Structure 1
Amino acid sequence: MILCFPEVSVTASLISFLIAITILTLTPGFDTALILRTSAANGWRKAAMTALGINLGCLVWGAAVGFGLGALLLASELAYNLLKIAGAIYLLWLGLGLLRHPRSSLVTPETDKSNSQGYGAFFMKGFLGNLLNPKVGVFYVSFLPQFIPADASVALWSIAMAATHDVIGLSWAAVLIASTQFFAGHLRRPAVMKIMDRLTGLVFIGFAARLALSRR
């Protein structure tokens, strides 16, 4: 007699994970704010690079969990706090930059520093914003193992689930970018751009404060 309980377990794990990670992806956060702002101010191509950077960060965290490195954040208070402080400082720097130098118009690349930045700079902005957030690491450490079937490869499943998260994340990023581009004409008005940059700066500073004051 052949039993099929392992396959049922795997299927149940996959369905549960897909539902949970989709809900979490759609929940607004720093990543959403960064993609929306980049799409409106710098165009869909640079927003797409930002989204790729964010999702590479997720993949790195998934690999870290799979190979046991992510557990360091749970075991070491020092490691967690150092990464938390670095992430908070980075978000604060981004937020203050938008508050101090909000864009008021679409100018030429020669006179606008943000437009003169290459695609790699926007990729790294998304990547670092994700990688320097220890809450993402702690989330992956506590979240992913719940959906790994018994006797399965932790490394393989962790990376596969992180990759699945990337697919969902990139799909949602495409929706965000497309919706922003639809209203691009209105969003790029001088007054709207200045307000948008300042509001985004405040959001980034808020995320920095929340990260700095957070506990595991």
Structure 2
Amino acid sequence: MDVDVILSFLAVSVLLTIIPGPDNLFVIAQSIGHGRKAGVVTALSLCSGVLVHTMAAALGISAILVRSSFAFQLVKYAGAAYLLYLAWQAWKERDAVLSAENQPLESAGSLIRKGILMNVLNPKVSLFFLAFLPQFVSPGTDGAALQMVGLGVLFMVQAAVIFTLFALFAGSLGEWLKKRPQTGRLIHLGKAVLFAFIGIRLAFSGK
């Protein structure tokens, strides 16, 4: 694979990662609500979900989602339901006061599960990789699947770097907000609205 192709792929990947979307908004929300560490763990777990989509695209599994409306709808609604569940959890915490001494802690395992499920249960990510990765694969080669895996890993690495930067910035913003009275309620309400918005958008968006 030519260096020019790799650089072009990387440039497009960075642009797509920066554009506001469910994943980076999720990282920002977790960082503001639970701190930098939670945001970074969420960012890395979201990016690890990219490997699942990459392997699915390389093996042709994602094509099933294209051909089967039922499979697509099943995964899509499962993802939407999970996001609405997270919105409900944030809504129940709306009266909590966030401070350095009283900050709800989540285990790394819980954060990792949330991040991976958030990413994997979005069928549009699978479809995106199925359409995106082949554009940068050399045609007529026997190693097309391997090239797609390599590009997927590259996408994951750059996304991990960018999402981590988002998490660090949002974590600093969260610390500043927590020093202000009554911001705990606003943070949880904001998370609830954001998760609900993403979930509803996923559920009612077309294929």
**SS of the counterpart of 1:183?**
helix
- Partner of 1:183 in structure 2? 173
- Partner of 2:126 in structure 1? 137
Structure number with larger C-alpha Rg: 1
Q: 2:90 aligns with which of 98, 121, 139?
A: 98
Deviation of residue 190 (structure 1)? 4.5
Q: TM-score, normalised by structure 1?
A: 0.86
Once residues 16 and 181 of structure 2 are traced to their aligned partners in structure 1, the CA distance between those partners, rounded to angstroms, is 34
Answer yes or no: is 1:61 the counterpart of 2:53.
yes
Deviation of residue 61 (structure 1)? 0.3
- Would you say how many aligned residue pairs link Structure 1 and Structure 2? 204
Answer yes or no: is 1:194 the counterpart of 2:185.
yes
Deviation of residue 157 (structure 1)? 1.6
5+ residue gaps, structure 2, are: none
Whether the aligned pair in 1 keeps the contact of 2:35 and 2:175 (CA below 8 Å) is no
Q: Which moved more, 1:28-37 or 1:100-109?
A: 100-109
Answer yes or no: is 1:15 the counterpart of 2:42.
no
Once residues 100 and 14 of structure 2 are traced to their aligned partners in structure 1, the CA distance between those partners, rounded to angstroms, is 37
- Partner of 1:47 in structure 2? 39
Q: 2:16 aligns with which of 21, 24, 27?
A: 24
Once residues 46 and 195 of structure 1 are traced to their aligned partners in structure 2, the CA distance between those partners, rounded to angstroms, is 19
Q: RMSD in angstroms over aligned alpha carbons?
A: 1.9
Deviation of residue 183 (structure 1)? 3.2
- Partner of 1:72 in structure 2? 64
Q: What code does the residue aligned with 1:119 have?
A: A
Once residues 89 and 200 of structure 2 are traced to their aligned partners in structure 1, the CA distance between those partners, rounded to angstroms, is 16
- Partner of 2:201 in structure 1? 210
Once residues 91 and 13 of structure 1 are traced to their aligned partners in structure 2, the CA distance between those partners, rounded to angstroms, is 36
Answer yes or no: is 1:127 the counterpart of 2:116.
yes
Q: Which moved more, 1:91-100 or 1:74-83?
A: 91-100
Deviation of residue 47 (structure 1)? 1.6
- Partner of 1:35 in structure 2? 27
